[in-house]
Amino acid sequence: MTSTIIPLVKRKKIAETLPSGKRLDGRGLADYREIKLETGVIGSAEGSARIYLGKTEVLVGIKIDIGEPFSDTPNEGVLTVNAELAPIASPDFEPGPPSKEAIELARVVDRGIRESKAIAVEKLCAVPGEKVFIVFIDVYVLNHDGNLIDASAMAALAALLNTKMFKYVVKDGEIEKKPGYTQLPIRNQPIAVTIGKIDDNLIVDPELDEEHVIDARLTITTKKEENICAIQKGGVGYFTAEEILEAAKIASEKGRELRKLVVKA
């Protein structure tokens, strides 16, 4: 990706208001931008959701397919997360194979869902060792204004909660569709909270300009029981142990708020 050049004065501007507890756009350090969530927006997908996190816009579509299980988990369905940083979403995104940024995004979203055991994969097995359901989660970034991870993770969860599976019977080892739908079995609600660090200040939900000047970020995903299930540190800066523990606290508090919002959508 092109390295965006940020005017030094901008970094200074962004950093200097933080000690007073305010950000340039008027938010407090622990405030998210306005969140709007719509579900069931794509008719051809089994589940879908579109999120607006401030100006960041992400669409998640879920497709369910039949395939073979992994040999070490013959009785479980398969989860696959893919992310596209489509050129439409930013002048910095280029067409071509997934960039490292896109791969990281997909893997962080994947880790949250997988490690929280959000999907009851054992219920997605039709014929043990042979036929299971594959849940494809495709993250499509439509406008990039920072914090793609949290937006994508929330949209993915909203889409999963919205996903309907066709009913089926197994006859002679083959899957036969039946009329009607059931809900995809979801039993946990992972929420990713990304915290940026600028000098000694921690901010949640960095928007694009802030994202360009943060020293580092920490994404902490919590389950509905508020235990931590995934962490990813990004960026070339560092954190002290105290900052990490503080971030974990923020993540669990913000996670609680956001979870309510996503489950309601």
Partner 1 sequence: MPRKTTKKLIDKKGVRVDGRKPNELRSIMIKAGVIENADGSAYIEQGRNKILVGVYGPREVHPRHLTQLDRALLRCRYHMAPFSVDERKSPAPSRREQELSKVITWAIEPSVFTDRFPRTSLDVFIEVLEANGGTRCAAITAASVALADAGIPMRDLVAACAAGKVGGQLVLDLMDVEDKMGDADLPVALLPSLNVITLLQMDGELSADEFEKALNLAINGCQQIHMIQREALKTRHIAVKQAVEE
Q: Does 3 bind partner 1 (CB under 8 A)?
A: yes
Q: Does 249 bind partner 1 (CB under 8 A)?
A: yes
Q: Does 248 bind partner 1 (CB under 8 A)?
A: yes
Q: Which residue lies nearer to partner 1 by CB, 9 or 241? A: 241
State the burial class of residue 51 (Cβ atoms within 10 Å of its Cβ: 0-12, 13-18, 19+): buried
Q: Which residue lies nearer to partner 1 by CB, 44 or 70? A: 70
Residue 147 in 3-state DSSP? coil
Q: Which residue lies nearer to partner 1 by CB, 86 or 248? A: 248
State the burial class of residue 97 (Cβ atoms within 10 Å of its Cβ: 0-12, 13-18, 19+): exposed
**Shortest distance (Å) from residue 111 CB to partner 1:** 6
Among 228, 246, 253, 256, binds partner 1 (CB under 8 A): 228
* Residue 218 in tokens: 């920490």
Closest CA to 155 of 139, 176, 169: 139
Among 114, 123, 212, 224, binds partner 1 (CB under 8 A): 114
Q: Which residue lies nearer to partner 1 by CB, 20 or 227? A: 227
* Residue 204 in tokens: 């949640």
User: Tokens 């069931």 appear where?
Assistant: 40
Q: Does 232 bind partner 1 (CB under 8 A)?
A: yes
With contacts defined by CB under 8 A, name the span among 114-122, 137-145, 202-210, 257-265 that binds partner 1: 114-122
Give the separation between CA 235 and CA 198, rounded to whole angstroms: 12
Q: Does 235 bind partner 1 (CB under 8 A)?
A: yes
Closest CA to 239 of 200, 203, 183, 205: 200
Phi, psi dihedrals of residue 97, rounded to the nearest 5°: -65, 155
Please list the residues that pair with 161 across neighbouring strands. none
Q: Does 50 bind partner 1 (CB under 8 A)?
A: no
Q: Which residue lies nearer to partner 1 by CB, 186 or 216? A: 216
Q: Do residues 108 and 50 touch, judged by C-beta distance below 8 A?
A: no
Q: Which residue lies nearer to partner 1 by CB, 3 or 44? A: 3
Among 104, 130, 246, 253, binds partner 1 (CB under 8 A): 104
**Shortest distance (Å) from residue 240 CB to partner 1:** 5
* Residue 26 in tokens: 């008027």
**Shortest distance (Å) from residue 209 CB to partner 1:** 19
Q: Do residues 225 and 1 touch, judged by C-beta distance below 8 A?
A: no
Q: Do residues 32 and 53 touch, judged by C-beta distance below 8 A?
A: yes
With contacts defined by CB under 8 A, name the span among 18-26, 87-95, 102-110, 203-211 that binds partner 1: 102-110
Q: Which residues bind partner 1 (CB under 8 A)?
A: 3, 73, 76, 98, 100, 103-104, 106-107, 111, 114-116, 216, 218, 223, 226-241, 244-245, 248-249, 252
